[in-house]
Amino acid sequence: MRNWHFNHIDFSTYPHYAGSDLGVTWSESMSFFRLWAPTAKRVEIRLYLEGKSGKPLKVISMEKAESGTWIHQEPGNLEGKFYTFKVNDGEWLHEVPGPYARAVGVNGHRGMIFNPENTHPPGWENDKGPVLKNFTDWIIYEIHIRDFSIAENSGIFHKGKYAGFTEAGTVSPEGETTGLSHLLEMGITHVHLLPVNDFQTVDEEFPLLKYNWGYDPQNFNAPEGSYSTDPYDGRVRIRELKQMVKALHDHGIGVILDVVYNHTWLTKGSVFNQTVPGYYYRQNPDGSFSNASGCGNEIASERYMVRKYIIDSLKYWINEYHIDGFRFDLMGIYDSDTMRHIRYEIDSINSGIFLFGEGWTADTSPMPGYRRAIKRNISHIPGIAVFCDDMRDALKGNHNPRSSLGFVSGLALREEAVKFGVVAATWHPQIVYSYVESSPEPWAAEPSQCVNYVSCHDNYTLYDKLRMSVPDGSDEEIRKMVKLAGAIILTSQGVPFLHAGMEFCRSKEGHGNSYKAPDLINQLDWSLKSTYKDVTAYYKKLIRLRKNHPVFRMPHADMIRKNLSFCIEYKVGVVSYCLNGRNAGDSWDQLLVIFNGNRDSVSVPIPAEKFRIIAYEDEIREDGIDIIEAPTITVPPVSMTLLAR
C-alpha cells in the first residue's frame, strides 16, 4: 500500500527541467509529448478516440530523457484525439491528462490534442485589452460566469455560458440594461472573473444540477467546460472563452482571471500526485499534507518545478488568451520569492498586467510568515497588490458576528481605519495607527498595492450584511449606507474593486458562504436594478467622477502625502479631508471630501470662502449642484459631500 507521508524524502534532490515543451506539442505531421516524472520507472501514453469512455486506440511506452522527463514523438495528425499519461514509480498510479494539459474532454479526465490556431476567433491576432497609464486607473468588477446571466430576467440567450458575455443590447423585463450592456453603462474598466480554469465539482454533462464558485481546481491550463456550449470537444470551450475575452476587449473592458494555484481539490488523486507523488505539496513535520488552504493541501510554491509550473501557466494564459490581470486566491500561501519571480517574468511580456491577491491564508502553514506573500510583507514585493480588508471591515463591520457594525452603519471610532483605506494603506503622518485595529502600521509602499473594497463573492453581500447588522433600518436607510460605502471606495486612493450587483443592492438571501448554493441564491437578479435604480445611478456617477478626476487615483504614495490632508477638527463618525487637485493634475484646484457615517446631520467647517457643491445627498454633478459661500456646510446623514473649486 502506498505511503502518502513524505518526511523521508528530500525533494530538493529531484532534477529540474527548464524547457518550454512540457505537455503536448501538436503539428500536422506529429505530436510531441514530454512529462516531468523524475520518480517514474515507466510511463505510458494512452490514446483515445473519445474524451470520456472507450478503450485506448493505442498504448505507448515513453522514453526516459533528460532532467527527469519522459518523451515520445507520435507520427501523424492527432488533432481531436484524446490522451492520458499513466506513471509507474514502483506501482501504477491513475491515468491523468498531465499537469500541462491545455485542452480536455468532458469533466477533464483526458487531455485533448489540438491545433491552437483552430481555436482563434476572427480578428484574434489584433485583439488587445485596454491600456491605462497606472493601475490606480483601474476599476475592477468581480463576477462569476454563471451568476452573470443564468437568471431568467437577464435577457441573455446563452445563460451561464462564456457566450453570454458576448451578447450586447440585452435588457431585463423592466427595460434596464443587463449583461455586457450593463458593464458598459456602469463604466468599469476591468472584469474580474471567478475561476474559469477546469474545476472538479460541477458535472459538465449536467451543469445545472450543481453550482460552484470554482475554487476546486482540476486542470489549471484548460477552461471549465460547464460554461461552454459543448463540453465534449475541448476546443469549443477554448474558442468560446477567447470570443468572450475579445468581446470585452472590443468594448474597452479588460479581463482578470482568478487563479487558484494554492491548492487542488483532490489531494492523493490530483494530477500532481498521480504524476510526481508528494513533490507539488508542502508537508507537516510528520510528512502529512499541510493545509493552509483549508481544502486539504497547499502547493509548495518554493520548489523549483512548482514555481516553474505556476509561471508557465500564467504566461500561457497571457499569451494564448490575452489576459490582462490575475487575482491570486489565498496568496498568503505563496512564498514571497515566487511572487517576485512571477512579477519579473510577466513584466518581460507586459508590465501593464495587474497582479493582486488575498494577503492571508485559511489555516496555518509550515512555511514561516516572514517568507510568505502575506499582507504585512507586501511592501517588500513590488508590483504585487493585496486586498485591503482593513477598509472592508471598517466600512461594514466584521463578518462575524453578523451584528457587527461599521462606519457606514453608524459605528463610532472607525474613523482612523477608514482614513487608513482612504490613503490606500500607505504611510500618512495624520493617521493614528494605534487606532487601526487590524493593521497597527501601513503595509503598502505604493497605492497600487492596495485593492480597496467593501464586498466580494466571499461572505455576505454588502446589502445583506447591512440588513443583518442594522435590523431596525428602513430600506431607504440601507440604500444610503450602500451608497456611502460605494462613495468611499470609489473616491479613495488605491485600486477600487466592486462586487457585481452591489450597485443595485444584490442579495443572496442572507447566505454567508454561497460557494455551492443554487443559482437561486447566487444569480444576479436583474430586476433589482429597477427597484434600486437610484443606487445604480449613484454608482455610475461615482465611477465617472473617478475616471474624470486623477486626484482620486494618485499613482504614488508621496503624491498622496503631499496632496491629501485630513481635516484637523475631529467629529465622531465623520472623515473629512482636503485634496490639492492642481498638484495632482486635476481640473479642480482644491477639493473637500466629507463622509458622514452618522444617522444625524453634522456641520463641518469649510476651508475657503467659495466652493461648488459637487456631491450632496444622492446627487453628483461635476459642473456643480450649487455654490456655497459660508464658513460651514451641513452634511446629511449617511452620505458623502464633495466640494470643489
Residues that are catalytic: 329, 358
Strand partners, 327: 258, 356
**Look-up: residue for cell 478626476?**
549
Q: Under a CB-based contact definition with an 8 Å cutoff, are residues 87 and 40 in contact?
A: yes
* 572 vs 411: CA distance, rounded Å: 9
The amino acid at 378: I
For residue 220, give the 3-state DSSP assignment.
strand
Q: 85, 186, 89: which is closest to 141 by C-alpha?
A: 186
Question: How many residues in the chain?
Answer: 645
- Which grid coordinates are listed for 185? 453603462
Q: Grid coordinates representing 335? A: 512564498
Put the strands of the sheet holding 30-36 in their side by side order.
23-26, 30-36, 69-75, 63-64
Return the SS3 of 484: helix
DSSP three-state, residue 240: helix
The three cell numbers of residue 346 are 510577466
CB of 502 within 8 A of CB of 481? Answer: no
477-487 burial, b for 16+ CB within 10 Å, e for fewer? Answer: bbbbbbbbbbb
Residue 441 · residue 423 · CB < 8 Å: no
Cα(292)–Cα(262) distance, integer angstroms: 9
The values of phi and psi at residue 58, to 5°, are: -160, 140
Cα separation, 50 vs 137, in Å, equals 47
DSSP state of 207: G
Residue pair 480/410 in contact (Cβ under 8 Å)? The answer is no
Residue 283's CB is within 10 A of a number of other CB atoms, namely 20
Q: Which amino acid is at 117?
A: E
